[in-house]
């Protein structure tokens, strides 16, 4: 790992068991500011457990998580969000009967801690800000539609837009392209990454994403970490990690490496 | 500074209040009394609707209804406070204070657990009231005619005075409830109803939203209890009984969570159905009420308010 970069988040010796199942075994990862870190691994390898521990949904059995010199291990999800860590979900977590705009407005008010008894929830400035972000995700045309009417790919984008509206320091995307058709995956990731980059003001947003599609990994990740049985088995650039024999055996499979070699 | 939309809400409320006052000149006295009870009970159901907007339904609003009622009645009889407005306000505050210690605990429960816990609290109060002779025991006690700003009405005028006070308070609370529903907290309440996990992950405390809705509902319940006591002239432990709480839930379901006005329309409908049913088939009027509720659930699952909401002009959106 590049030690010259400033560390934003440090996960130190994280362990987490579910009965006899080891979901995280001595996981230590430093995430640098501005990084595009991708977590790969087969189902049950520990990727989502790692994301859940960072965002406070699960508490590690042992170990600590430090965000910008502050220990956040014991904090609740909303306290971690307020410190600048936002996330999206593998299955989008949306308010299905509310409109796209109301979902965004609710996210905006939550991120600002705004819970006035009298101030309108739909003030023009707030609506404008939501429309701007929806525009970056190409969702403005859906603003007045209830979420339940939207297709899966659009819901995925909305889920990420809601996480981004609070201008987080660290954005964690759990399988942002799952459920999206193969031909739309690149388009979805382009939209997401462009929206993140265009929103970055003084410093770039650090992004951690979980992904199974290795073409997506190669194209969008500046660093890749491979998990297997709750352990980190490889850490480096995408080319280094995808060439690792353990990664080929446990994560990507030998077929892919054979194809690469032939190419 | 008051926002334009809030000014519009208050203007509508003022007009409705004047209309209600005008109606008292033409309506028969029995109907004014019935409408007074409907508005007072509607305030309690309005509180339940605020809670429904954050995804929980209390089955024990009899607790705050009785708290408000007993507070007003005791202040009237023991301390000689007879002003209808002051008694109503104190009823609301007393109910708020009684609910306060339970709010953060109840806000951690959902569904049937929340409903049954609130029901249990109201039945505890019922038991205490039944056994406390100082509060009239199972018979309760009477309250005479209230005053307003020092004016003591004659017996014939009392119904109209109380109608004016109840209509004024109801219009004010309806307006404030509308503004609250449209506020940031109102929008977050809907988000909690839809997906509280996401609300927590967006950085907001779900418990805070639900607890405050419970407290607001308690204040409204206390107001309704105080006004009911003044209108009926009598209070007894049945104010806290579970069937009383059930009627408030009935009106809230009938109205739905989208419209504030629908709550008072629903409450008036209930009082009318109750009055006419008990007059014409006194032994089976609850059957008529049950069938009425079944029809509403079958054909208007989102309540009367969903139809009224549909009739409103849509807010322009920027697409």
Write down the domain spans for chain B: 4-143+154-245
Q: pLDDT tens digits for A171-199?
A: 999 999 887 887 888 989 999 999 888 86
Q: Cβ separation of B203 and A113 shorter than 8 Å? A: yes
- Chain A contact probe: residue of B177, B187, B196, B216 with most A CBs at under 10 A: B187
Question: Which residues of B fall within a CB distance of 8 Å from A115?
Answer: 184-185, 188, 204, 208-209
Q: Cβ separation of A109 and B188 shorter than 8 Å? A: yes
B7 near A CB under 8 A: no
Encode burial over B64-93: b for 16+ CB neighbours within 10 A, e otherwise: bbbbbbbbbbbbbeeeeebbbebbbbbbbb
For residue B197, give the chain A residue with the closest CA.
Answer: A93
Q: Determine the distance from the C-alpha atom of residue A253 to the mean position of all C-alpha atoms in its chain, rounded to a whole number.
A: 24
Q: Cβ separation of B203 and A143 shorter than 8 Å? A: no
- Helices and strands, number each (H, E), in chain B: 12, 2
- Chain A nearest C-alpha distance from B100 (Å): 18
In this predicted structure, the answer to whether residue A256 has a pLDDT above a threshold of 60 is: no
- Complete DSSP assignment for A38-99: EEE-STTSSHHHHHHHHTTSS--SEEEEEETTEE-TT--HHHHHHTTEEEE-SS----TTSB
Query: What is each CA distance from A172 to A36, A87, A209, B256, in whole angstroms?
Result: 10, 4, 6, 38
Grade residue A3 by pLDDT with cuts at 50, 70 and 90: very low
Q: Cβ separation of B204 and A140 shorter than 8 Å? A: no
Q: pLDDT tens digits for A218-254?
A: 999 999 999 999 999 999 998 899 888 888 888 887 5
The confidence score (pLDDT) of residue B6 equals 85
Domain harbouring A180, CATH code: 3.40.50.300
Residue A213 lies in a domain: yes
In this predicted structure, the answer to whether residue A87 has a pLDDT above a threshold of 90 is: yes
- Long-range contacts of range B291-296, CB-CB < 8 Å, 24 or more positions apart? B293/B250, B293/B253, B293/B254, B296/B253, B296/B254
Structural domain total, chain A = 1
Question: Which residues of A fall within a CB distance of 8 Å from B256?
Answer: none
For residue A96, give the chain B residue with the closest CA.
Answer: B194
Residue A37 lies in a domain: yes
- Chain B contact probe: residue of A58, A80, A95 with most B CBs at under 10 A: A95
With 0-12 CB in 10 A as exposed, 13-18 as middle and 19+ as buried, what is A67?
A: buried
- State the CB neighbour count (10 A cutoff) for residue A121: 25
- State the CB neighbour count (10 A cutoff) for residue A51: 23
ipTM attached to this prediction: 0.87
Helix (H) or strand (E) holding A195: helix A185-199
Do the Cβ atoms of A35 and A221 come closer than 8 Å? no
Strand order in the sheet with A170-174: A85-88, A170-174, A206-210, A36-40, A223-228, A231-236
Encode burial over B285-311: b for 16+ CB neighbours within 10 A, e otherwise: beebbeebbeebeeebeebbbbebeee
With 0-12 CB in 10 A as exposed, 13-18 as middle and 19+ as buried, what is B147?
A: middle
Q: Cβ separation of A78 and B200 shorter than 8 Å? A: yes
B151 near A CB under 8 A: no
With 0-12 CB in 10 A as exposed, 13-18 as middle and 19+ as buried, what is A239?
A: exposed
Q: Helix, strand, or coil here: B284?
A: coil
Place of tokens 């009425």: B292
Helix (H) or strand (E) holding B205: none
For B284, phi then psi, to 5°, come to -125, 20
B5 near A CB under 8 A: yes
Q: pLDDT tens digits for A68-83?
A: 989 999 999 999 999 9
Encode burial over B177-193: b for 16+ CB neighbours within 10 A, e otherwise: bbbbbbbbbbbbbbbbb
Grade residue A4 by pLDDT with cuts at 50, 70 and 90: low
Dihedral sign for Cα B169, B171, B177, B180, please: negative
Of B187, B195, B201, the CB nearest to A105: B187
Residue A256 lies in a domain: yes
pTM value is 0.89
- Chain A nearest C-alpha distance from B202 (Å): 6
Do the Cβ atoms of A133 and A199 come closer than 8 Å? yes
Determine what percent of chain A is predicted with pLDDT higher than 90: 67
Say how far apart CA B213 and CA B52 lie, in whole Å: 9
Say how far apart CA A247 and CA A257 lie, in whole Å: 10
Q: Cβ separation of A141 and B319 shorter than 8 Å? A: yes
The confidence score (pLDDT) of residue A95 equals 96
Say how far apart CA B79 and CA B76 lie, in whole Å: 6
Residue A78 lies in a domain: yes
Q: pLDDT tens digits for A102-144?
A: 999 999 999 999 999 999 999 999 999 999 999 999 999 999 9
Residue A103 lies in a domain: no
Q: pLDDT tens digits for A42-61?
A: 888 899 999 999 999 999 99
Q: What is the mean pLDDT of residues A141-155?
A: 93
Q: What is the pLDDT along chain B (319 residues), one digit of tens a residue?
A: 456 688 899 999 999 999 999 998 899 999 999 999 999 999 999 999 999 999 999 999 999 999 999 999 999 999 999 999 999 999 999 999 999 999 999 999 999 999 999 999 999 999 999 999 999 899 999 999 999 998 988 877 889 999 999 999 999 999 999 999 999 999 999 999 999 999 999 999 999 999 999 999 999 999 999 999 999 999 999 999 999 999 999 999 988 888 899 999 999 988 888 888 888 877 887 787 788 778 888 888 888 887 776 666 555 444 3
Query: What is each CA distance from B102 to A218, B121, B211, B215, in whole angstroms?
Result: 54, 9, 9, 9
Place of tokens 């595009």: A36
Q: Which domain holds residue A17?
A: 7-92+170-262
Tell me the β-bridge partners of A30.
Answer: A10
The confidence score (pLDDT) of residue B227 equals 97
Do the Cβ atoms of B251 and B41 come closer than 8 Å? yes
With 0-12 CB in 10 A as exposed, 13-18 as middle and 19+ as buried, what is A47?
A: buried
């Amino acid at each position: 790992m590049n030690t010259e970069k400033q560390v934003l988040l440090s996960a130190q010796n994280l362990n987490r068991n579910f009965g006899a199942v080891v979901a995280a075994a001595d996981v230590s990862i430093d995430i640098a500011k501005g990084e595009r870190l991708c977590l790969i691994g087969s189902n049950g390898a520990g990727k989502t457990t790692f994301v859940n521990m960072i965002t406070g949904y699960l508490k590690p059995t042992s170990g600590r998580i430090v965000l910008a010199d502050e220990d956040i291990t014991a904090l609740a999800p909303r306290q971690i969000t307020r410190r600048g860590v936002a996330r999206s979900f593998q299955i989008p977590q949306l308010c299905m009967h509310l409109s796209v705009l109301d979902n965004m407005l609710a996210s905006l008010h939550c991120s600002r801690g705004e819970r006035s008894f009298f101030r309108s929830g739909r003030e023009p400035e707030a609506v404008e800000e939501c429309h701007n972000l929806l525009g970056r995700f190409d969702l403005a045309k859906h603003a007045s539609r209830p979420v339940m009417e939207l297709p899966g790919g659009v819901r995925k984008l909305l889920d990420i837009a809601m996480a981004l509206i609070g201008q987080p320091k660290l954005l964690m995307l759990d399988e942002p392209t799952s459920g999206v058709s193969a031909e739309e995956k690149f388009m979805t990731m382009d939209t997401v990454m462009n929206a993140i980059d265009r929103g970055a003001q003084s410093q770039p947003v650090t992004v951690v994403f979980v992904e199974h599609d290795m073409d997506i990994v190669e194209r969008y990740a500046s660093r890749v970490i491979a998990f297997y049985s709750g352990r980190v088995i490889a850490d480096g650039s995408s080319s280094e990690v995808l060439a690792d024999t353990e990664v080929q055996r446990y994560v990507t499979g030998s077929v892919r490496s054979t194809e690469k070699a032939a190419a | 500074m008051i926002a334009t939309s809030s000014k519009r809400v208050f203007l509508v409320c003022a007009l409705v209040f004047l209309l209600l006052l005008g109606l008292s000149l033409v309506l028969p006295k029995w109907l004014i009394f019935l409408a007074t009870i409907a508005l007072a009970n509607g305030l309690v159901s309005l509180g339940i609707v605020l809670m429904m907007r954050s995804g929980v339904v209390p089955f024990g609003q009899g607790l705050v209804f009785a708290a408000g009622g007993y507070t007003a009645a005791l202040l009237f009889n023991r301390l000689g406070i007879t002003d209808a407005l002051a008694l109503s306000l104190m009823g609301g505050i007393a109910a708020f204070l009684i609910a306060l210690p339970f709010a953060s605990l109840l806000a951690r429960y959902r569904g049937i657990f929340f409903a049954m816990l609130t029901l249990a609290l109201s039945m505890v109060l019922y038991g205490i009231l039944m056994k406390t002779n100082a509060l009239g025991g199972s018979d309760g006690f009477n309250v005479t005619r209230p005053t307003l700003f020092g004016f003591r009405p004659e017996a014939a005028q009392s119904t109209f005075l109380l109608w004016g006070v109840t209509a004024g308070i109801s219009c004010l609370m309806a307006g404030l409830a509308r503004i609250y529903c449209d506020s940031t907290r109102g929008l977050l309440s809907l988000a909690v109803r839809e997906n509280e996990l996401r609300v927590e992950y967006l950085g907001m405390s779900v418990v805070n939203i639900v607890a405050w809705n419970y407290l607001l509902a308690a204040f409204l319940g206390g107001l309704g209890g105080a006004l009911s006591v003044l209108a009926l002239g009598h209070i007894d432990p049945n104010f806290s009984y579970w069937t009383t709480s059930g009627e408030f839930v009935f009106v809230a379901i009938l109205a739905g969570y989208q419209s504030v006005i629908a709550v008072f329309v629903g409450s008036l409908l209930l009082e009318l159905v109750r009055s006419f049913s008990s007059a014409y088939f006194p032994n089976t009027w609850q059957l008529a009420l049950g069938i009425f509720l079944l029809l509403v659930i079958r054909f208007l699952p989102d309540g009367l308010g969903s139809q009224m909401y549909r009739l409103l002009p849509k807010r322009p959106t920027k697409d």
